[in-house]
Structure 1
Amino acid sequence: MHLKLSALLLASSVLAGCVEPTSAPPAQSTPVGPSASDEARYTRVVSRMEPVIERECVARVASNVNCDFAIILDEDPAKGSNAYQTLDRNGRPILAFTAQILPEFQNDDELAFVLGHEAAHHIAGHIAETRTTATTGAILGGAIAIVLGGGQSAVDIGMDLGTTVGARAYSKDHELEADRLGAILTQRSGYNAIRGAQFFERIPDPGDRFLGTHPPNAQRIAVVTETVQGL
């Protein structure tokens, strides 16, 4: 269901699959909003992909997982270019796009691939996995601080560090898994995932940093290409 952000309260603080801006806007610049053609593309792609995404979700996940996606366009002009997946307080999956990201897409395939990628995070259960590893990391970090004889401040630091490490432990794997499934969702919706993945060529490359949240862009493009060729 396509909704505006004001219609929902996003209760979850855990996000998956954030797409960063292609570049930081100059200070005090006026954000460039989407054109009528950008908004038409968004509506067209969402209408075409949503039933495919929900059908694939039902086919792939347990019966108790919510597959009723709410696809949201956040029209706040102050928000930066971004796309992400989260859950509302009732566990309903939210796929959110800010208005500022719409002009970043050069064609329908790019928007479709990003939409498929974000949906894939929910279908693959990445938010739940991240919460589990973050909680485990926090417990281990606090326990290590206690064993080493640290006080409460040391325990707090250990838990914070453990949370960060735990949350990022499988982040790159999650992104690549979402790229693979996102490519399948894109193709099954009638779009070209390889062409869509060219979006990665224009966003900052995170490289292969230790505990980074995203894999190198070249690796992601290669995964999408391999997946489509395999289909």
Structure 2
Amino acid sequence: MKSMYASLLPAVLAATITVACQTVQTTQAGAVGVQRSQMMMVSAQEVEQASGKQYQEMLNEARKKNALNRDAATVQRVRRIVARLTPHTGVFRSDAPAWKWEVNVFSSDELNAWCMAGGKMAIYTGLIDRLKLSDDEIAAVMGHEIAHALREHARERISKSMATGIGLSVAGAVLGVGQVGQDLMGKVAQVTFELPNSREHETEADRMGVELAARAGYDPRAAVTLWDKMATQSSGAPPQWLSTHPSHASRQRDLADYASKVMPLYQAARR
């Protein structure tokens, strides 16, 4: 049986790579005009499943440490804001409002927040309390993170990392090796918690985030004040979760420009 697999493997790999490597447009442009094709080498379903498992592990670990949703008022506040944001995700992709959105609050001094594939989110108390965030600023944070999920940036980054080891990854998938699923979970954790996003990804999330906030009736200019607060806590540089790539000045200008563009949406939502 081994010799048969060995003879078939090159052809199977070639066919699988051809199918797996695809160029997609994950979202519509929206009012902010985010339009860029993305190269994907792993399916959205695989990344979403791995993200769901990773998320449950994170929740279980936080629960063991008594660090999950400790303050009911804060949890209610965050969930209320997110509940206003998520219906507007349909502007960027029609399937997104039906995602199983979930947000939890982790008790930690870290300045951190994230949203995994499929809409599994967390925000840390350090970000809310240390920066004394307003509702508009929380909406800016969560809108930014939601945008990463809508654009499937994690899937795109995993795909790029797979490009150098595609033979091993695809071979494992073809032969049904159980470790592949575990490896994908590891990749999800790495791109979510460890590696900073690229300038391109951060810019897309910034622009889409201000539009989501504006459509939900939150002042999109809060993204600028949020960034000012982040800079004061990070010696003029952003923390890892927001990436060190875009300079403070250029990011401020871009956020201000795009907040201005979506002000009519904010004003309409407030009527």
TM over 0.5: yes
Q: Match for residue 134 of structure 1? A: 161
Letter in 1 for 2:142: L
Distance (Å, rounded) in 2 between the aligned partners of 1:46 and 1:108? 10
Secondary structure of the residue aligned to 2:53 is: coil
The structure with the largest helix share of the pair is 2
The runs of 5 or more residues in structure 1 that have no matched partner are 1-8, 14-30, 140-162
Query: 1:86 aligned to 116, 135, 145, which one?
Result: 116
Q: Match for residue 246 of structure 2? A: 215
Moved more, 115-124 or 33-42: 33-42
Q: Is the 8 A contact 1:83 1:96 kept in 2?
A: yes
Matched, 1:45 2:45: no
Q: Match for residue 124 of structure 2? A: 98
Task: Give the TM-score, by structure 2 length.
Answer: 0.51
Q: Is the 8 A contact 1:206 1:217 kept in 2?
A: yes
Query: 1:118 aligned to 128, 132, 145, which one?
Result: 145
Q: 1:122 to 1:39 in 2, by over 3 A?
A: closer
Q: Match for residue 255 of structure 2? A: 224
Q: Match for residue 204 of structure 2? A: 177
Q: 1:173 to 1:41 in 2, by over 3 A?
A: same
Q: Is the 8 A contact 1:80 1:101 kept in 2?
A: yes
Task: Give the TM-score, by structure 1 length.
Answer: 0.58
How far did residue 184 of structure 1 move? Answer: 0.6
1:64-100 per-position Cα deviation (integer Å, ceiling 9, x unaligned): x79514232133x35633101213xxxx331211233
The runs of 5 or more residues in structure 2 that have no matched partner are 1-50, 56-66, 167-189, 263-271
Larger gyration radius, structure 1 or structure 2:
2
Distance (Å, rounded) in 2 between the aligned partners of 1:12 and 1:130? 17
Q: Match for residue 93 of structure 2? A: 58
Letter in 2 for 1:11: K
Q: 1:66 to 1:133 in 2, by over 3 A?
A: farther
Aligned residues: 167
Q: Is the 8 A contact 1:172 1:215 kept in 2?
A: yes
Distance (Å, rounded) in 2 between the aligned partners of 1:168 and 1:42? 25
Q: Is the 8 A contact 1:110 1:199 kept in 2?
A: yes
**Cα root mean square deviation, aligned:** 3.6
Identity %: 23
